[in-house]
Structure formats: structure tokens, C-alpha cells
Structure 1
Amino acid sequence: MTVMTSTGRSLAPDLARGFMLLAIALAHAPVFVSGAGPGVLDGVAAFLDHLLAHNQARPMFVFLFGYALGQLACRHQAKGGDWISLRKLLRRRGRWLIVIGFVHGVLLVPLDIVAVYGFTLLVLAPLVRARDSVLCWTAALALAPAALVVSGPIILAYAGAVPITPAGSMPADLGSHLLSGLQLWPFKTVLGTIDVVPGMLLGIWAARRRILDEPERHQTLLRRVTVIGLGVALIGRLAGALLMAGVWTPPAPSAAVLAHTLTGYAGGIALAALIGLVATRVEGGPFTTALAALGQRSLTFYLFQSVVFLVLFYPFTLDLGGELGFAEASGIAVAIWAVSILLAEWMRRAGYRGPAEVLLRRLTYRHSSGA
């Protein structure tokens, strides 16, 4: 029997999105600080972050985005909707995601992926109904270019061409921050589409088979993906993690960075599979319910993280970026996630949906009878 939340939703996708926000916070928070300090704790935190979260949280996020698209398409078809109306719905959703992502990337932090999702929907909406073979082959062909797009700036950073983290180049005032966001946002949004394609298409494929909606029926597949994916990720990302943590410089740093990114796709999808397995065994206890509530409001709390990062780290706010190391930034990330769980559970009990989710749904469906 499929494990469901109190709202009638399948548990595993919501748990995965709730856990995903921890991975995203751990990947993003250290980006805003000056880096690992001389202490052992900072070095260990930096190594674990680069091994487990950095360039692995994003593929998980993207896979779950594709899974949500697949769920949307299946629901639309089940209600008797045709392809033309679905395509209009997806592109309308894409346009509003671009608007939300623009506000996020310009006003808050330059780590936006929401607009990338929107632009990808506008460009690649037909792939939502593509044959399984087309989804899988396109994902495979896009994997190498996607890894190059992500790895390129990191390789340049270690070559000394660009700052390794924004901490050394964050704008000193709000005006410069907005101007920088306006200049970088279009380039990052368009280029980021390449990075999104592999995980998104695999997510659509998985949603068609209800792999996370009915994880008890797919336990063998989920176990294999978890064991193989995490094994590949841990082995393939080890050298890159040691390099980025400043522990060891491998003979071929560029190759280590590329392998770190490439195998991160396997690790991100494996983490989603692991949560699917967990969902078949957990009871509906307080923590499970609260984590699922967070997953149901993932867009809202993704934006919430960025608000906190802006307030804490930028020179024109509290300016903690130059004072903290990796361990402290990671602690802040965990604290943000814990507060997010508490807020999401409070919203669930009070009957409030995530404001970002409500806004996106109203904008998407306001010209449609499918609300």
C-alpha cells in the first residue's frame, strides 16, 4: 500500500524535497564565507560538504523538479486533458517561474535555479510527452555538456581566473548588488538550462512509473540505484572533495573537478532513491510529518534560505561572510533547515500552504479551468 501524507499526497516525494532543502542549505551557506579556517573542524566540515552536498544537492533538486513535472503531466492526462492544453499550462508555469527566479536572483542571491527551471520549460516543454527512449538518450547525451558547464567556473577558480567563492567578490552596497544581479542573471539562466536537462528528464521518466509515489513496488530498483549511485559518487567525488577542502591537490585537478561534478548526478539521484526506501519503513511520526510538510512547501523555504543568506552574509547587511569558516556556515545551514521544519509544521497545523506555492499556482491556473 502506498504511504501517504495527511493531505493525501504520496509521502516519499515530499520527504525527498524536505531533505533536499538541507542538502541545498549545506551546499549554499559555505559559498558566502571566506572559506575553511586553519582548524581541524573547518577542514573536516569543508571536506564533508564537498563530498556530500556540493554539486550533489543540485542534481537531486533537478531530479525532483522533473519528477514533479511528470506528476503534473500524469494528473493532467488522468483528468482528460490534451497535449495542447498541457503545453500551454507548462509554458505559462515556465514564464512565471522565470519571473519568480528573476526576483530571487537579482534581489536576493545569485544562486537561482527557479528561473532556470522556467526557461527550460519554455524551451523543452515538448520533452514532457516524449517517448521513454527519447528521455533517456537525451539525458545521457546532455550529461557531459552539463558537467562541463558546472565544472568550468570551478576549474577557472582553481586556475586563479575567478574568485573561488562570492565571499571575496560580494557587492559592498545594495545598488551594486542589484546591478550585478541584473548583469549576471540572463547569462546564468540560459546557461543553467544545460545543467538541468539530464536530471529533469530522468525525473519525468521516474514519475511515469510512480517510482517515488509507490516506492514499495520499486524497492529492488531503489536499492540498486541507492547502492550503485552513492558508491559511484563517493569514489568519483573523493579527489575533488579533497582538492576543494584544501587537503590534497591531485595530479590532474581539472579532471578531479569534472569527475566530482559528473558523479554528483549519480549521487543526487541516489539520495532521492534512498529517501524513497526510507519512506517505505517510517511511520507517520511527528518528525516525518513535519519533514513532509517542509517538502510540500519547498519553493517557499528555498526562497526563505536565500533571504537568511542575504541578511547574514552580505557586506551591506550583517556582513558575517568574512568572519565565519566552513564549520560555522554549515552549522548555520543546519539551523536554517531546522527552523524551516518548525515553520512548515506550524503552517501545516494552521492550514497554510506555502505562499510561493500558492502564488505560482494562482498565476499558472488563473486563465485555466483546471485549477
Structure 2
Amino acid sequence: MRYDLAIIGGGLAGTATAFYAAQMGARVIVIERRDVNLGASGSNAGSIHAQIPFDPFRHLGADWARHYSEVLPLFIESIRLWAGLEAELGGDLGFVAKGGLMVAGSDHEMQMLREKSAIEQAQGLGIDLWGADGLAERAPFLTGGFPGGAFCPIEGKADPFKVAPLFLKRAREAGAELLRNAPVTAVERDSGGFLITAGGQGIRAARVVNAAGAQAAEVARMVGVTVPIEAHAIQVSVTEKRPPLLPWLLYFTSEKLTLKQAAEGGFLIGGGWPARMRGGPVVDHRSTLRNLALAQRLVPGLADVQIVRSWAAMVNGTPDWRPVLGEVPQVPGFFLNLFPWMGFTAGPVVSKAIAALALGQVPEVDLAPFSL
């Protein structure tokens, strides 16, 4: 069988690219080494981010933040796309965008938030700075005494268990095919495109999208390309259900934390705490305890909350936190859809753009700054 487009990876990036390409009339196949949504796309905490992450800002500085800030227009456009995605796909994705609050743990960190917000605002991202009084008035669920915070009104959450499967369902209805349990072992140039060996089968495609997440560097090497993708084992926890308390996505500047409350009442606690590797990623109880203690430090209402489930997964990262997107110059027809850390947020708009590029169309957003 010959396809217009072969997509390697069955996470959000791969399934969304397949959906948009199939909608454009392309003959598409998604090749997944295990099953759909088992990697970072289905194992993250479901945060919809737009603010520059504080931890790398603290360590890498303002020059890094200005360079990184080129991704913010992608977040803004993707969140606009997210807002209509449930209607477009015809299903519930658990999407809510009531805002995100980054709480400053000290006066010095509050000043850093001011510096960071100026960089964010220069890229068109709306940020409201709250002082101690504003924080106490608007966020009474927080522990008292923090000097302030930065509020981004477009941030929120979605359900990572639902997004990629629904993209895939609609892609298959539009004619896309799926090959499960088929690890890719070779990608070779072929007359008219590429020959991919996956699960012992040969698949020919005019063009290829590498959306393999933490395995993307391995796939890229098959066509002689080095991609600066790093794999990180991190973990997330969810608590028992509680009455509504936290309306927003919550961050903390002093340590890594993302905290939000699902519509069903459980709190999702994340932020990139490390898991252990034992054959694959497994939960590290030390990270679980520290992550929970941090959440309880910010929100006293969680003092006696019980964790009901924790899980670990591999996510991809790059040294400068920037994505690697678009056609590889030295391998025409081979495209990268690799968005580290914040790929759940950016996935819809970036995948739509990659599908357009791969089919010779002009995308709605500019991916040129993120070329390999």
C-alpha cells in the first residue's frame, strides 16, 4: 500500500496530524509502536499552558525567555483552536479555560514574575499581576502571606485520556488508517518517497511525519538526522474527589507544581517531578510525597486529601525548551512534529500546520522559527 502521508506516533501530535491531513483529502496511515495515547499525550496532567515556565526562567534567565517566547503565539493560537475543538470533533474533551495563576513564593520571585510578564506581554499574551491584597481577595483558598502572582486568563485544562483517541476516531472516519503494535525499525528513501518498515511490514509513503515523542530521536536517526530530543521520566497524581475549591490552573515559583481540580472533583498534582526508571518509568514515592506536600503548602484545604492514583510516563524535552517543527532541510518530505513539555497545549494548532505543510499547503501559523 502507498500513502500520501505516514505518521509515526499515535499520541496527540500524530493523531491530530492524521485528522487534519485526512480532512484535506490525503491518504494517511498512523504507525504506533504500542497503542494510541499510551505515551506523554495520555499520561500528562492535562494542563493548558501559555505562560513561560518559571523553573527554566529562574535558571536560564531573561535572554533565554526572550528566545523561548517565540512559542507563545503558537500557544495563543492553539488555545483558540482548543476552544472550538469539542464542536469540531463532536465530543467531550474536558476543556476548560478559566485561567492560570502563578503564585510567587517570595518578593524576589515576584520581581522575577514582573520581568517575565513583560516578555510575555510583548508576544501578545495577556498577563495580570496581582499583589498580596489582590491574591488574598481573588484566591482565598491559598495559604496567606504570599506576595502576589501572575494570572493568565486563557490557561486551563483538558482531559488527556480523551483527546488523542477522539482525534484518531475522527481521522479514521475520514479515511485514515492505523497500524498498532508496529515498532518502526527502518525508514529509507524510496522512489516517490519513503519505505518504512514497521512491525515486519513495508509501508510506502510520499511523505513522513515523525511525531514519535520521546522516541523521535531514534526515528530521526533512521534517515541520518540528529534531533536534540531528550527523554524524561516524570509522574502525576490524582486525589479523591472533593467539593469545588480551585477554579484555575495553579503554579508555584519556588518549586515545580501544577495543580488543578477536575470537573469530577479530584485534584491533579504534577509539575514535572521525576519518576524512576526500572525497565520503563515507574512512580517514585519520594516525588509523590514532595509534590503532595507542596500542593498542601499552597492550598490548606488539601491537608487531609488522599491520593488515589499515581502514574509515570516518558516525555520529551529539548535543551532550550523550544520545539522542533517542519520539514527537515536535508531530507525533503520528512517532517518533525516535536513539541517538548508543552506539546499538549500546542498540539492542535501545530499538527494542523504540519499537515498543511506536508501536503504542500500554506499553514495558518508560521513554524519557520522552529525548523531543525
TM-score over 0.5 (shorter chain): no
TM-score (norm. length: structure 2):
0.27
Which has more strand, going by share of residues? 2
Which has more helix, going by share of residues? 1
